[in-house]
Amino acid sequence: MRSLFICALVLGTAGCSKGVLDLGLGAETDARFTSDVYTWECASEDAEWMGTFGFNLSLTYTPDNLATRELPPLNACDSSLSMFSMDTLEGGTDIPDVDSPKWSTQGDSGRMDREVEGLYYDDVFRNVFSCDRAEAVIAGGVLLEQAGRLSGVRTPAAGEVISVSSDSEAVGGLSFGESITLNWEADGWDESFIQIRRTRSEQVVETLTCNTTGLSEFEIDSSIWGELNEAVNADTNYLYVGFRNTGNERSPDGQKVDIETRALHVVGITDI
């Protein structure tokens, strides 16, 4: 709430009361609205496809101070990216006069709970092992309906994840240093990435994110593992194959919002 404090010092309390829209009107991005679907393999007698077993939403409000999610150059990796809103939040501010922002899709609706100052989240469903495709769950995107100054913002439509496969036999997480070849087929996405996400007691302790945009195969080898620190105390090593569509919108009062829809496949994990 530092911005409100500064506002009170400069303008006096009359110009900074709750609900006055004086934050986030600078040059930097103010918020990020993300929809994530998690995929798994579905099959019938004559077909195979990627269904959806998890779906969640996050809204981060950090006026003029949003952390970047820009991927590194193609085939390069970055250990400093925070790709998940629940992993970290610095400098967040609650949306004025909003307790639980409402969202809706063409077929569903709900509300996001406030997790910490400036972070709202809804675990819409998990581990349901639906064979609905990601693009059907997201449909035309997710709309913020009752989110104060961020109302009207919508995430992009999803592309299609056709298949994701690997030669790993790991169940419940990877062994550090394990060599893995990943293959995938997808269509209608702006970017793709892989992330090794290391956690302890379900809290992230180390990550490495690599840009795979335009590729259909990626090798997790000693050079990739060499960018991580084996000495870091982690109890689970997750491997994500991610696809995303991104964009930018402005709210009616000029807030700058990053919007993002992602499909995430977690290798060797059957629950999230």
Reported pTM? 0.88
Question: What are 59-116's pLDDT values in tens digits?
Answer: 999 999 899 999 999 999 999 999 999 887 667 999 999 999 999 999 899 999 999 9
Whether 175 shows a pLDDT value over 70: the answer reads: yes
Is the confidence at residue 34, as pLDDT, over 60? yes
How many Å apart are CA 70 and CA 67, to the nearest integer?
9
Q: Give percent of the chain with pLDDT exceeding 90.
A: 74
- At 22, is the pLDDT very low, low, confident or very high (cuts 50, 70, 90)? low
Q: What is the pLDDT of residue 169?
A: 80
Burial of 232 (0-12, 13-18, 19+ CB in 10 A): exposed
What is the rounded average pLDDT of the residues 238-265? 95
Which pLDDT score, from 0 to 100, does residue 9 have? 36
Residue 200: phi and psi, rounded to 5, are: -135, 125
CB contact at 8 A, 92 and 82: no
Q: Is the pLDDT score of 1 beyond 60?
A: no
Does the pLDDT at position 2 exceed 70? no
- Distance CA(55)–CA(124), nearest Å, equals 6
